[in-house]
Structure 1
Amino acid sequence: MGAHAVSARHGALVVSDVGAHTGLAELAEALRHTRSRLAGAGGGIRTGVVAAGSLASPGVEFDPTPEEPHPAPGRESQTRAAARFRVVVEVGDADEAQYVARRAVAVAPVLLAMAASSPYWADGGDSGYASTRTFEARWSPAHLTVVPADTAEGVQAAEDELLGTGVVVDRESIDIDLRPSRDGRGVELGVCDSCSTVDTLVVVAALFRATVDRILAERDADGDWVDPSPTVLDAAFWRAARSGMEGDLVDVTTGRPRPASELLNDLVEGLTGQLRAGGELELVHDLLDGIRGAGTSAARQRAAHRRRGRRGDVVAVLLAETVDRIRPRDVADDRGMRSMLASYSPLGEAVTEEVHDEAITEDGVPRPEYVDVLKAVSDLGPETLCERKDTVDDSLRDLGVTLKVYGRDEPQVFPLDAVPRIIPADQWARISAGIEQRARAMELFLRDIYGPGEITRAGVVPAEALERAPGFRPTGRSVPAGALHAPVCGVDLVSTAPGEWVVLEDNLRMAGGLAMAVALRDRISEGFPEFGARSEIHDPRVGLDMLTQTLRAAAPDGVDDPAIAVVIAEDELGSFDLGQVAAAIGGPLVTPDHLVVEDSRLWRVDGDERSPVDVLYVRMDEEMLLSSEGADGTVLRRGLLGAMAEGGVAVVNAPGNGAADDKAIYARVPEIINFYLGEKPLIGQVDTYLCSDPEQRKQVLDRLGELVVKPIDGYGGSGITVGPECTPRELDERRDELRRHGERFVAQEVQALSTLPTFDGHELQRRHVDMRAFVMLRPGDSGEILASAPPVALTRVAPAGTMVVNASSGGGGKDTWIHRA
């Protein structure tokens, strides 16, 4: 089904062997039925039928001329033409057909631009053209655009002249873009690529038929016809083949460049009378809404290829469009939302089981929970969205919600996207249960490795694995028996399929983001009130409330009304997130030089005044804190650890916790859960390879270009290499590191991070996302560990073209809506 032939006979449209239909709607349905049958026929042998003048790919059957897969010498042009979309409109006779063909040539470049769908060469390389088929055909000596004659005899004379040159073997090999049909009863248009969407095919057929009707209706007033300049006409076809609808075209009447959308509008407006008379005007306008938004098939194919460089993504889009699973016009009932989503990349990039979109289904329609928000976004439109974003950015900047981005001297405002992430209640129930189980098991692990060491004696976590863990330190033994090591846990998750989540990383040292989640909610609520009532979703402030309760519950025995302080590094004094946390918990921000330990108690020094600190909430590096000098000039290490051990102060989170969120230990978490809880994990995690193990390291080196490699003690995105995104030089450097210091790294399978619509200032585009969730631990009355995940999360958005969500690399965030049960 690499090509279609459409004919109109006495007002009826006929496509291939589909049959005659009096209207466009019938024609469209017949085409969809035919394509569905052809797709089904290939399903049993794992092949697909692609209706596009585009590349072939493994697993896809693309044979526009099955009776002649290898063209004979001199037949190249005919074979190429068969891979294009041909429209035949029946008229009186061959002379009348040629009369129309000569005059219809002026509209052909616009129709070609709409149907452009062959951007790749046969070997898969990008040609730089929207229609490679046109480029190839027009290079052939057997190709003519149109014969400048009003009779069929003139066409035959032109063919005879071409045959006389000896470069064309027979008349059948000659390819003329507009000409009388072979049977002499119709005028044939053969310039267009085969169309992957029925909508485009039907619109092109309708506009050409209306053009024929108009030319015949105006025949008496024709006068002396003047052919378009051959130079201008060649330029117009070249520009249409080069740019499709994504750039300027050439106006054949003036010879000047004009936006493609303007020329298409002019064409439709000029044919309004003919379309209305045929009862087709409304349907054509309706179909064009989606086509304009979705762009050409060539543009959609390139968008699919651009994200990961895989031809399979291109083919997946073409297959979906061919069988009408993705349609430019049926994205939603709302026309505004349909138009906006038509250009969203599930129509231009493959939405597959491998990389799914949380907001848009494989059919290109919003998932139920996203319908209202996406409708509000589309109603606002790009211009208003930009204005609102500027207002939101100003507010964030005033609050100090900025970050340091690599390569920038000045802090940049935190990039907050307008479209929120929505987590249905049932998904959150599964997520929270899984991460609560995980946090309880990791707390027991920390108690054990700094205590009796049962898991090491059992061989579940070998002693050498702990010894290699940079976070396994004697400081962890300073936590009194029964006290919690990690009351505040962070868990980074990704969604790998609809409703499916896995843990990417644990953070048991200084998990931040609660105050940021509140700030993002406030900014979205203020900037986009159209997004609807918030009563159905949890207020993220519950996370700060729970943090306060957790810190109070961590106080040493006998302290009922603890004094809490947040210790930070000097250069973090202006941090918005830390300032908001301190305000929420009712404790001051302090730096180490304002602390002093006396008589196994921790004190905060403010001038000549001292006040006790019962709970020290640590939001700085452990080693930096312990090696800092206190208010009395004494290094804090010995005094602070001693006060902890004697129960004079609780440090949250405790030193030594890095042993539990070490990426090498991460690989053993399922076994840790089973060892301490006797349970299977309620939430999955990423397959991880330990590069300290010679056999596993060899596998990693063999597959380095396919894997993500991480330092076992790395923070955020630092030190990470994503194999598919690396240059050969970067891979060589990492390969050398692994051979010399394999014990410092782990490798993981590249995760199919889900995507979400993200407004880039012009349109919605797919961006990869992850999510930071939190778990709070408190001691129970009977000594058990109580875990609770507050219904708040921070969604982080990767920059375009990468799956690394590190904000310092230019990523951003989204407001995260967790629905109430």
Structure 2
Amino acid sequence: MGARPSDRRLPPAPEVVLGVEEEFHLVDLETRSAVPRVPELLDELQALDGDAFAAELKPSIIETNSRPTHDLADLRTELVRLRGMLAHIADGRGLGVVGAGTVPLIDGSAEGITASPRYERMRDEYQVLAFEQQICGTQVHVDVPDRDAAITVMQHSAPWLPVLLALSASSPFWKGQDTGYASSRTLAWHRWPTAGPPAPLRDAADYDALIADLLASGTMSDPGMVYFDMRPSAHQDTVELRICDAGPSVDGVVLVAGLARALVRHGVRAHLAGRPSPRYRPELLRAASWRAARSGLEGDLVDVRGRELVPPSRAVRLLLEHLDDELDEAGDRDVVHELAVDALARGSSAARQRQRANRSGTLEAVVDMLVAETRGAPDSPVDAPVSETVAPVLLADYAPAAYDEAVAEDGTVRPAYSWLVSTLERIGPSGLLVHEKSRDAEQRARGMLFPQDDDAERLFPLDLVPRLITPGEWETLTAGLVQRARTCEALLQDLHGERACLHDGVLPEAALRWIPQPHEAAMNLHPGAVRALVSGLDLVCDGEGEWKVLEDNLRIPSGIGYALADRRVVRSVLPELQAPHGVLDADEGPAMLREALLASAPPAAGHDPVLAVVTEGPSDAAYFEHRMLAEEMGVPLLTPGELRAAAGMITIAENGRPVDVLYRRIDEEVLFDARDAEGVRLGGPVQEAVRTGRLTLSNAPGNGLVDDKGVYPFISALTEFYFGEKATLAAVPTWSCADPDQREHVLDHLEELVIKPVDGYGGQGIVVGPYASAEELEQVAAEVRAHPAGFVAQETVRISTHPTFTGAVLEPRVVDLRAFVVLAPTPTVLPTPLTRVAPADSLVVNSSRGGGSKDTWILR
């Protein structure tokens, strides 16, 4: 219970002194159950160091008290010393020592209490609360100038205490069952009437009055039963942190102690400066503690100050930033930062216990792991880095044929991926299979479908292993993607205007399937209209690790919604995966898209333009995305039949409100041929509204002119033509079959090249020469000869592979990346790129051809 504060007054010193109380379970090494045998060890332990060991409410739990220290290294030495003494005495009696909030298995005889008048009074008064206190915590005592300062420290520390709980969470099991919580100890602890977040108090006198009221009410029987997550000492000028689970790792306890001291220093500084204490709703503080107990380091945490859920990596980073000065002044900054990064990379003790239980199938194995870690084993086998693991399970036979983004040629894991692969190895194949079932359930609940002709309920394929893009890579890609999107826009404007690129011979007319005519919808946009507001640019990483543009998609590129949904599903079902330094927030994508669409509104729209998404409806394979983006942007999702053409405008049939911007997720021909709510064919009215500046159609009609693959070979030259800049992103060598000489080269090397129809999309009509049969090659040769302008050929790129879970192991699969660029109000790359994954033995990643997807993490 740790009900009493330490009896030792900490000596004055120039540095803030701290000490730690740790509570440990005693377990029988044969049964692995907690047993009530502390009384038979206590005399021998106290003979070694009388002040260092004490009994607790439960006779299976023992407490150690460290000597006061100024230095975290000295604290670590002291904790190791006490643990070593305890383990040595326990070993002689066939007992093990477990540092954890709970121990998975409990002997029935351990349900009693330690013989003591105080504990017996608590048993009689509190009944089941006393019986179920088979829990252990870590308490940190830190010097303060006086008790008034202690109260200020409590108020300033309160919003950060749940983060410390998440870092220490180590109690997923209770009496042989998985509770579903990372800290079930917190649930048991918070049942006490005086437990929980610190009360909002003014000073020590206010605190003492509260204690007097609680005693008078009979809620607690003595002052030692104040179980706030942080409290002042009743006997000395210290403040005590009490929120944390006991921990198996000494480094984990040192991390908590270092953060606790920094919080105290911060609060003391605020007290001495006379700054007012912040006020937070007690309900929100309690909710934040509950969330931390539920999540540990494997799920979102509550940022109390920002009143939002954030990933644990961000929560820890915010805490470190908040305490940066205090950590630096104490000389703890480097140590605490290193331990925090390591804690995030390894995950919580609760997650490691579950992983061991899943792998071994027994809770006895979990107890063995905890005993070993508490004894001081540097890492249990389940936690060892992959590079040090003797026989990794998931990567046992991993053999990439080309450049692999995660695994080097010699079989070692690349540095950027080491923490991710280590986490996946800890989860193991059986754990991933369990998570895949959760993934499927989550996708069905969200309606995340990509139906095919033979499967109307087909889930959008999602592999749970995320792809990582480093900050340097993303910076380079961003510059190149914006440049390429601007080039495509300039080309569209030119082809629908002066056609300088044709006159100057930069783009041969033969590369175009048609030339825009004055009567066409694409020629009649209002002045200043952006034609390719949203671009979807497909990239691949080649055999040398260099990024190249593979295709330009300027009509109605899809994938933003799926990328966002992938992130949310992975975050929901695999909370164990957390990047040490965080990733760009994909949730910002829809808001950025909405801003771009509204910025493209026509002049007549005024200051409050109306935006809507137009879709063909549920029959469209990508309808899930249409619906999701409309919901995320907070705008109507409409079919053509829910529009009305009236008075030169396009309105929403239901309420008659004019639409200023239609985000088009429907082929232009289908939209123009469709009929509105009154049966009027929409083609004429829509085109007229666009021409007169009453409507923006995004993306504009006619964009297929430039995203045809016949234009692709000339984009790099056009970048230099329009902007005087060298293309930042390389292109894949491409031959136009419209050119006789290039066509002959293609026909002579069909078995080496990838043949693509210039107007194809979704992977339709692609023939990959190295994988094609003789019959397929003969057929495509005939088609090229019959319609040469309809095809291009590209060099077969050795596209990078990425680890993909196949049910038992990780195997390399070809991946590409579709990135999305918006050109208004300023050219921007959305933080929602979509990684697509090819099936086994294939280079085609399109979902309509059996491809899947991955969550893409752009590392900070």
Q: With structure 2 as the length reference, what TM-score do the two structures score?
A: 0.54
- For the 8 Å contact 1:331–1:341, the answer to whether it is kept is no
1:519 aligns with 2:573: no
Are 2:435 and 1:381 aligned?
no
State the partner residue of 1:670. Answer: 716
Distance verdict in 2 for CA 1:725–1:680, change over 3 Å: same
2:414 to 361, 367, 370: 367
CA distance in 2 between counterparts of 1:791 and 1:497 reads: 25
Q: Give the Cα separation in 1 of the matches to 2:649 and 2:763.
A: 37
Whether the 8 Å CA contact 2:545–2:800 is kept in 1: the answer is no
CA contact (8 A) 2:386 2:425 kept: no
Question: Counterpart of 2:438 in structure 1: which amino acid?
Answer: T
Q: Which amino acid aligns with 1:681?
A: A
Secondary structure, aligned partner of 1:332 = helix
> What secondary structure sits across from 2:856 in the alignment?
strand
User: Of 786, 798, 808, which aligns to 2:838?
Assistant: 798
Q: Which amino acid aligns with 1:383?
A: S
* Number of residue pairs aligned between Structure 1 and Structure 2: 476
Confirm whether residue 778 of structure 1 aligns to residue 832 of structure 2.
no
- Please tell me whether the aligned partners of residues 555 and 615 of structure 1 are also in contact (alpha carbons under 8 angstroms): yes
Cα pair distance change 1:498/1:703, threshold 3 Å = closer
| C-alpha contact (below 8 Å) 2:603/2:694 kept by paired residues | no
For residues 221-240 of structure 1, the C-alpha deviation after alignment (integer angstroms, 9 at most, x for no partner) is xxxxxxxxxxxxxxxxxxxx
Q: Matched residues in 1 for 2:425 and 2:518: separation?
A: 51
Pick one of 543, 547, 550 that aligns with 2:596. 550
Instruction: Please report how far the alpha carbon of residue 343 of structure 1 lies from its aligned counterpart in structure 2 after TM superposition.
Output: 1.4
Deviates more, 1:467-476 or 1:613-622: 467-476
Q: Distance in 2 between matches of 1:600 and 1:463?
A: 36
| 1:697 and 1:742 in contact (8 A); partners too | yes
1:575 aligns with 2:623: yes
| Paired position in structure 1 for 2:14 | none
> Which residue among 310, 322, 340 is the counterpart of 2:394?
340
1:628 aligns with 2:674: yes
Distance 2:621 2:844 in 1: 27
- Whether the aligned pair in 2 keeps the contact of 1:473 and 1:656 (CA below 8 Å) is no
Is the CA contact 1:792–1:818 (under 8 Å) kept in the aligned structure 2?
A: no
SS in 2 for 1:771: strand
SS at match of 1:659: helix
**How big is the shift at 1:405?**
4.2
Q: 2:829 maps to which residue?
A: 789
3-state SS of 1:579 partner: helix
Counterpart CA distance in 1 for 2:829 and 2:783 is: 38
Letter in 2 for 1:796: R
Is 1:765 the counterpart of 2:811 in the alignment? yes
CA gap of 1:666–1:507, structure 2 versus 1, over 3 A, is same
The one of 462, 481, 487 aligned to 1:441: 487
Q: Is the 8 A contact 2:385 2:422 kept in 1?
A: no
User: Deviations for 1:522-543, whole angstroms, at most 9, x for unmatched residues?
Assistant: 1111211111257521011121
Q: Partner of 2:89 in structure 1?
A: none
The one-letter code of the counterpart of 1:593 is G
Does the aligned pair in 2 maintain the 1:596–1:603 contact within 8 Å?
Answer: yes
1:510-529 per-residue CA deviation (whole Å, 9 max, x = no partner) reads 11211111111111112111
Aligned partners of 1:471 and 1:656 also within 8 Å: no
Q: Work out whether 1:639 is the aligned partner of 2:693.
A: no
1:115 corresponds to which residue? none
Evaluate the alpha carbon distance shift between residue 472 and residue 422 of structure 1 in structure 2; reply closer, same or farther with a 3 A threshold.
Answer: farther
Pairs within 5 Å for 1:61-72: none
Where does residue 321 of structure 1 map in the other structure?
Answer: none
* Counterpart code for 2:398: Y
3-state secondary structure, aligned to 1:767: strand
Contact 2:547/2:730 (CA < 8 Å) preserved in 1? yes
Counterpart residue type for residue 429 of structure 2: P
2:501 aligns to what?
Answer: 455
Equivalent residue, structure 1, for 2:522: 476
Give 1:701-716 correspondences, 5 Å limit.
Answer: 701-716=747-762
CA distance in 2, matches of 1:573, 1:631: 23
CA contact (8 A) 2:543 2:797 kept: no
CA distance, structure 2, for counterparts of residue 654 and residue 591 of structure 1? 18
Please show how residues 3-22 of structure 1 align to structure 2 within 5 Å: none
The SS at the match of 1:815 is strand
1:404 corresponds to which letter in structure 2?
P
DSSP 3-state at the match of 1:733:
helix
Distance 1:815 1:465 in 2: 36
- CA distance in 2 between counterparts of 1:710 and 1:760 reads 29
* Cα offset, 1:331, TM superposition: 6.4
Aligned to 1:357: 404
1:601 aligns with 2:667: no
Measured in 2, the distance between the counterparts of 1:755 and 1:574 equals: 26
Tell me the alpha carbon deviations over residues 531-579 of structure 1, each in whole angstroms, 9 at most, x when there is no partner: 1257521011121111010011011115221111111113239822111
Query: 1:817 aligned to 2:857?
Result: yes
Quote how far apart the aligned CAs of 1:473 are.
8.8
Assess, with a 3 A threshold, how the Cα gap between structure 1 residues 621 and 534 changes in structure 2: closer, same or farther. farther
1:12-34 deviation per Cα after TM superposition (whole angstroms, max 9, x unaligned): xxxxxxxxxxxxxxxxxxxxxxx
Q: Distance in 1 between matches of 2:793 and 2:723?
A: 27
Conservation of the 8 A alpha-carbon contact between 2:675 and 2:681: yes
Q: Distance in 1 between matches of 2:434 and 2:632?
A: 31
Aligned to 1:617: 663
Runs of 4 or more above 3 Å deviation: 467-473
- What residue number does 1:591 align with? 639
Contact 2:822 2:828 in 1 (8 A): yes
Helix, strand or coil at the partner of 1:743: helix
How far apart in 2 are the matches of 1:523 and 1:387? 14
Q: Which amino acid aligns with 2:652?
A: R
Alpha-carbon distance change, 724 to 633 in structure 1, aligned in 2, over 3 angstroms: same
Partners of 2:667 and 2:558 in 1: CA distance: 13
- What is the deviation of 1:628? 1.4
Secondary structure of the 1:375 match is helix
CA 715–469 in structure 1, closer or farther in 2 if over 3 Å, else same = farther
| Alignment-derived partner of residue 739 in structure 1 | 785
Instruction: For residues 303-341 of structure 1, give each alpha carbon's deviation from its aligned partner in whole angstroms, at most 9, with x where no partner exists.
Output: xxxxxxxxxxxxxxxxxxxxxxxxxx99611346x3432
Aligned residues of 1:537 and 1:818 also touching (Cα < 8 A): yes
Give the partner amino acid of 2:714.
R
Residue in structure 2 matched with residue 807 of structure 1 by the alignment: 847
Shift of 1:499: 4.4
Alpha-carbon deviation of 1:715? 1.0
For the 8 Å contact 1:548–1:584, the answer to whether it is kept is no
Alignment TM-score, normalising by the size of structure 1: 0.56
Shift in Å, 1:716: 1.5
SS at match of 2:656: strand
Superposed CA offset, 1:626-665 (max 9, x none)? 1112222222112111110110011100001111111001
Whole-Å Cα distance in 1 between the matches of residues 858 and 677 of structure 2?
Answer: 44
2:512 aligned counterpart, secondary structure: helix
1:123-162 to structure 2, matched below 5 A, reads none
- Could you tell me which residue of structure 1 aligns to residue 292 of structure 2? none
Other structure's SS at 1:770 match = strand
Name the CA distance, whole Å, in 1 between partners of 2:418 and 2:519: 50
